[in-house]
Amino acid sequence: EVQLVESGGGLVQPGGSLTLSCVASGFTFSSTTMTWVRQAPGKGLEWVSVIISGSRRTLYRDSVKGRFTISRDNAKNTLYLRMDTLKPEDTAVYYCNAPAVRSTICRRASAWGQGTQVTVSS
């Protein structure tokens, strides 16, 4: 069974930091490209970052460059997103996603976690 489970969200003041984790199971994590996607209140899904399998190349949307760092620990089947210098505009539910991995419950969808809430507010 394919599963992605995010954790690490919470309430943080502007300028603070959080690190999100996503534990994967049910597929070969080490050979799988992984992404972080977020959804702010009242807005659509917004791609945040990607880490490519093998090469481990990383990419970020412009608004988080220099503040967020995506990484992975293949031995632990875990994806991370370190978020520094957080801003109120970063408030969103953050999801990890494996675009090439099929959901077990719905084969035509890719694998997503349940999400973890990040709230940046003073």
Average pLDDT, the chain: 96
Give the model's pLDDT for residue 11: 98
Asked if 48 contacts 67 with a C-beta cutoff of 8 angstroms, the reply is: no
- In sequence order, which residues have a C-beta less than 8 Å from that of residue 27 and are 6 or more positions away? 2, 98, 101, 111
**Residue 54 pLDDT level (bands cut at 50, 70, 90):** confident
**Count of C-beta atoms within a 10 Å radius of residue 39:** 14
Q: Give residue-wise pLDDT tens across range 73-91.
A: 999 999 999 999 999 999 9
Q: Phi first, then psi: give them for residue 75, nearest 5 degrees.
A: -65, -25
Q: Give residue-wise pLDDT tens across range 5-32.
A: 999 999 999 999 999 999 999 999 999 9
